Structures are given as C-alpha cells and as structure tokens.
Amino acid sequence: MKIRYAYASLLLAIALPLTLWSAPSGKLSSTSRLRLPSSSSLKSTDKGKNLCYNSGFDNTEKPLDGWMIDYAWTSNSHYVNNKSRINYLPSYAGKKSVMHINGRGGETLVECLPIPFVRGARYRCTITYKSTTSPHIYFAGYKWKPGIRPYHDKQVHLGDLRKIYKSQFRGHKVRKRTGGWKSETFEFPMENASKLSLKHIKYVRFITVYFMIIADARGEAWIDNVTVIRIK
C-alpha cells in the first residue's frame, strides 16, 4: 500500500505542473489552453452592467482614460497622427464631458478598452454622438496574436490582439435628440446571426466599440456617452 501511495503521489506531482505551466515562447501547452467562461457560468448580476470603462469621459484626471486614441504603435501611416486629432471638451452643444474626433485631416478612429467576450453571450452598445458625416460604428472582435501568451494580471493591450471580426456598421437603431445629437443602438452577435458569422465569432476573445471617420468622409464627430451591456 505504501508503494502504491508513493507512486500515486509522484504521478500527481508531475501532472500538476503540466496543467499550470505554459511555454515561455508565449504559446500555451495543450493541457493549459485558455478556456473562455460560458454564458451560463456568469452571475446574473453581470447582465445589465455597463462594461465600457470611462464611458462618459468622467475621469477628472484623465478624461480620455480607457480609450485607445494613440495608434502610433501600428506603424500605419493613416494613424500615426491619430492622437493629435482627438481631444476632450468639458462641454459642447449642451453636453458635458465630450470626446471630439476631428477627421478632417485624415482617417481617424477610437476604441474602448478590450472587453472579454463570453462564448454564447450577446451584447448591446448604445452611443450618443453628433457628427458632420456618417462615421463607421461597430463591435470589433479580436483574438490573441500568434505567439502572445494570454495574460490576466493587467489590462489587455490592442497591440497583443488581432482583429478578426466586425459587426455591421449600418442599419443601427437611431433615436434623434435635440441639438443634432442622436442615440444609436446595435448588438453583437446579431440575434439572427448567420452560420458563417457564428463560425468566425467562435474565435473571438475580446470586443471593442470601434468608432471611425473614414478618409473620404473628412468630417468631425463628438461623442457624449457609450454603454456596453450584456443582454444574454
């Protein structure tokens, strides 16, 4: 019995590190691949909560904290000066704490912090904005870049992710308000998502709210508030 107990303990001592250790190259071993929580494993209190950090630009010290505005790390010529075309306004057109996006000088974009995507869940974004053009607004889906070891001890940086999906940017539900402001609502995945869409969505690990003024538009936009809630 003592021999069997010692042998079992040895096997356990060997097996545990294999389940917890991941290769230093950044790729997870086959026994420790990242497993996303299913929608059924989340608490009911997670539903209805705004998942978009600093959604109203109310951070007094850093009003645009939590929003990706500097894309110089991409080395993409379109976005080298992206940061200089986005600024914070204490008030504008009857609204307080507004993000101003000046796309007159070229294609300009902004995204919220990556939000972990739960397999089987659905999300709804509501954004209040005013613009001189028609911006592209949608959910962008990301997965980890090849060679990047998934981490959970700090905020995920977009530079460690690869964009693999985008939701539709037309046909959103729009409710107009006074002063040219409008509230736009869209969801991801769509309730009647196609089999092809669902096939791609299964690889998504994070989502962001993606707001872009394309190069040909040459316009401006002002964002007042953004909310992202899980609806399923």
Q: Are residues 86 and 194 in the same domain?
A: yes
Q: pLDDT confidence of 216, banded at 50, 70, 90?
A: confident
Question: 223: domain range?
Answer: 39-230
pLDDT in tens, 121-134: 999 999 999 999 99
Whole-structure pTM value: 0.78
Q: What is the DSSP string of 167-228?
A: ---SS-EEEE-GGG-EEEEEEES-TT--HHHHHHHTT--EEEEEEEE-TTT--EEEEEEEEE
- Reply yes or no on whether the pLDDT at 8 is more than 80: no
Asked whether residue 66 falls in the same domain as residue 85, the answer is yes
Please state, for a pLDDT cut of 70, what percent of the chain lies above it. 80
Report the C-alpha gap between 66 and 141 in whole angstroms: 17
66: domain CATH number is 2.60.120.260
User: Are 12 and 126 within one domain?
Assistant: no
Position 179 scores a pLDDT of 84
Q: Tell me: do 24 and 110 sit in the same domain.
A: no
22-44 pLDDT, tens digit per residue, is 223 333 332 223 334 443 334 44
Dist. CA 146–CA 149, nearest whole Å: 8
The answer, yes or no, to whether the previous bond of 135 is cis (omega within 30 of 0) is no
Distance separating alpha carbons of residues 81 and 102, to the nearest angstrom: 11
Same domain as 10, residue 106: no
Q: Judge if 44 and 23 occupy the same domain.
A: no
Q: Are residues 23 and 134 in the same domain?
A: no
pLDDT band (50, 70, 90) for residue 46:
low
Same structural domain, 7 and 66: no
Q: Are residues 144 and 183 in the same domain?
A: yes
Query: Is the confidence at residue 69, as pLDDT, over 80?
Result: yes
Same domain, residue pair 146 and 87? yes
Whole-angstrom Cα distance, residue 139 to residue 160?
Answer: 18
Report residue 176's pLDDT band, with 50, 70 and 90 as the boundaries.
Answer: confident
- Are residues 169 and 62 part of one domain? yes
- Assess whether 29 and 56 both reside in one domain: no
> In total, how many domains does the chain have?
2
* pLDDT for residue 195 is more than 50: yes
